[in-house]
Amino acid sequence: MISFINYWIYFYQVWLIFAVIFLLLELTDGSLIVFLPMGLAAALMSIFILGSSYSSTVSWYLLILIWSVISVIISFFLSKIWKKGSSNKDINNY
């Protein structure tokens, strides 16, 4: 299993496929908290892998860790932006 992960995780196309899958899942969920940050982080990881020449020396678990940290940061910023935009206190005011 580890050799399977080691082979596929260094292709930027795999990260783009993950990004598209997560962005399509965001269309079904719509919460902007789970799937959108994961998709954006996967797109950023594909750019990182495409642009870096030392990505094959980085371990697969470090790439997953970087992806998860980027995803949490994006989720944090999206939640702050989403809360700032919806400052309406009255639930009956449409």
Q: Helices (DSSP H) in the chain: which residue ranges?
A: 2-8, 12-29, 35-51, 60-85
Of 16, 17, 39, which Cα lies nearest the Cα of 26?
Answer: 39
- For residue 20, pLDDT beyond 60: yes
Residue 45 is predicted with a pLDDT of 93
Rounded to the nearest integer, the mean pLDDT of the chain is 85
Asked if residue 60 lies in contact with residue 9, where contact means CB atoms within 8 angstroms, the answer is: yes
Residue 7: the pLDDT is 82
Would you call 22 exposed, middle or buried from its count of C-beta atoms within 10 A (0-12, 13-18, 19+)?
A: buried
